[in-house]
Chains A and B, each alone.
Chain A
Amino acid sequence: MGCVSPLGPDCAGAAAALADARDCVSPVEAFDVSGCKCRSAGQIPDAWLDRAASATRRARRWNRASQMLLLAAIEALGGREDFAPDAVVIGTTSGGMTFGEAFYRMFERGARDRRAPQWVRDYMPQQPVRDAMGVFGFEAPVRIVSNACASGTNALGAAFHLVRSGRARRVLCGGYDALCELVFAGFSSLQAATEEKCRPFDAQRSGLVLGEGAAVFLLEPLADALRANRAVLAEIAGYGASTDNHHLTQPNPDGSGPRRAMESALTDAGWSGGEIEYVNAHGTATPFNDACEARALAAVCPGAPVSSTKGQMGHSLGAAGAIEAAFCVLAMRGGFLPANVNFRAPDAGVALDIVANTPRRTRPRRVLSNSLGFGGANASLLLEAAES
């Protein structure tokens, strides 16, 4: 497993920031946000991404998205060059969009730019995956899932089903997204982004902040890993998805969309909702999302401790599901429940056990990670702690 996020350049850094309940959201400087209500985001320092160039000098010219994905893949592979995947499944929403923006602005400026062919190539969602695979010499079929903010969880779920069905023995999967002006402006236009702190599930929550990052997992059948005496970090036990046809950007307030995804995942795993010991919620801190998800959680796994880690690092869109699955694994291995930071008061009528502001010391064995996206895309992943 590998993860680069605003919480840290690797899993160890993220685990430390989670254990400290650190708020890693900072002012945006990459582009002009002066006209926007929200002016902050969870961002990855360029200095962390510079490390990508140590793997290949070409990475200096890559899009930040490619650099993030490569760093996560390097950590996940951890020197295991023998892990040649049969398939690669990666989620994203925006690809290398900053290069698409540069391409458009070239016409506005009225001057051709010799970098234009590279911008075209590198803005496409598959290019960061090709870049990272190229470093390792992988040639497996690539599946790019783009189900908005559920993409990362969908990618892990699809990879899980590929392995479980025997269609693939080794899958490299995950998600990535890098902050870009188009998407920042998009959430600003929807008035979904907040000018103050991101406060998931809080009574006074006022919206999300964006984030960025990448997480990559190596999946294989448990039996294969045990036979080869490889360390097992966690097991994926179940996956479910549903579509909420209520509205393109707003969930059905009754929570039926995420509820069906969670129920489907539980059926897939053969678990009951009462067995869930921690929920890493989608929890964007928008009024509609959190109310809908809270209703669904109260129905499916009442009493389970819940937190959203988006208060700490923002919403990384297509990467979110993969990064949050990594956080779940870190929580199971580290013996804590990540905090729901910036929480002040519970929402009236929402009966959730929020892990408010401070991590809770306990070692969850069965956890649920939710992702809900535009287009009514809902996805739920169930993870189980590995046997020692």
Chain B
Amino acid sequence: MPAVQETIDQVKAIDVDQYKYGFVSDIDSEKGAKGLSEETVRFISAKKQEPEWMTEWRLDALRRFQTMEEPNWARVDYPKIDFDALYYWASPKSVEGPKSLDEVDPELLATYEKLGIPLREQEILAGVEPKNRVAVDAVFDSVSVVTTFKEELKKAGVIFCSISEAIREHPELVKKYLGSVVPVTDNYYATLNSAVFSDGSFVYIPEGVRCPMELSTYFRINEMNTGQFERTLIIAEKGSYVSYLEGCTAPQRDENQLHAAVVELVALDDAEIKYSTVQNWFPGDSEGKGGIYNFVTKRGDCRGKNSKISWTQVETGSAITWKYPSCILRGDNSVGEFYSIAVSNGYQQIDSGTKMIHLGKNTSSRIISKGISAGKSSNTYRGLVSAHRKASNARNFTQCDSLLIGQDCGAHTVPYIESKNASAVFEHEATTSKISDDQMFYCLQRGLDEEGAVALIVNGFVKDVIQQLPMEFAVEAQKLISISLEGSVG
């Protein structure tokens, strides 16, 4: 298995707790909108040249936010965030809305190159299509820098652009769907996001179209004291299919940074959306200093019959993760899936899981969650499976496995199950295990070193979920997991 070997090599090459993506790009940046106020909201809206209805939508959210209390039910602990000390807007100066690649600041391009994100579209040579082509929307702090393969996708009728552009160019779609899955007042951070969201991606797949390539958005926070408020909206019309992947990294900084995102997915009749996340925000240093607060609301609405939404997430980064990608199974026969690997090391805190809300008839859902805790971290799975009165024959299978490495970490499982329909069948299985000394000794006796042995055992533990990732990212995710656990033994 080359991935494991590569992992071992990489781990060896790195000193203790080195976050690979922790560099800061020296980019002339414009920062604005400090503090949370009507002025800030108007500033952002003006920057993005938004129509009046959007500005009003934001202001409404702000007013509602100001009446809300921060929730405290999650098993995470952090000092109160001072929303007035944050900047809500930071943009590389050279960027005034996405444009052609030739006009983008070379330093920005270099940043993405360093992160391994392809922004240059591969040429199609003599009719031979290169494999693994992926269209990328690159979001840097508050703005989308560039979106690749737009023209080619357009030919298939697919719209893939930044949400800012979509608000300007496709207002009818945005108006119809924005906030229709995650209402403005859904929760504290979603409401905040609705007021001050900066950029994110917009995807529209027309009826009957199978999106010709993987779509992905790559989020990067660079500026200090700046919150990133991602907003993503994906709409799959009847009978369409799309696979989408997001990745995220941030520089290594001493202070905590806030990323509060809202992602909404809508799948109409017979449509399928596969949404994968490889989250690698800076997790803080070995003392627990710095790192990203990742407070995210992700929800998919299986609005049409026979629709399907599948979430796959690999969470290795962030100081705090608070995230529950969910599915509303509204359409009859709709299917929701959640596959998750959450790795915590150092002082990381993860409270993550999913909600499967069964509303339609014959709906089914599947949850596979693999939590790995090491160091002094805390890792909680929190999930809700519910069947509405009318959700006859709802089916759910949940499996939550936790793996502990070392003595000082914690794993918790908090499943909620509610059934209001007698024909619903919900199954829940949970296990907690440790990498045993016997397993370690066995691997060492065969010649693997300690890190190689942990990598192998962990890769075995997460295999069911890794298999759900798009091929191109599966190997990457395996490597990432091993690197995150580096130094967790011995």
Q: Do chains A and B stick together as partners?
A: no
Residues of A at the B interface (CB closer than 8 Å) are none
Residues of B at the A interface (CB closer than 8 Å) are none
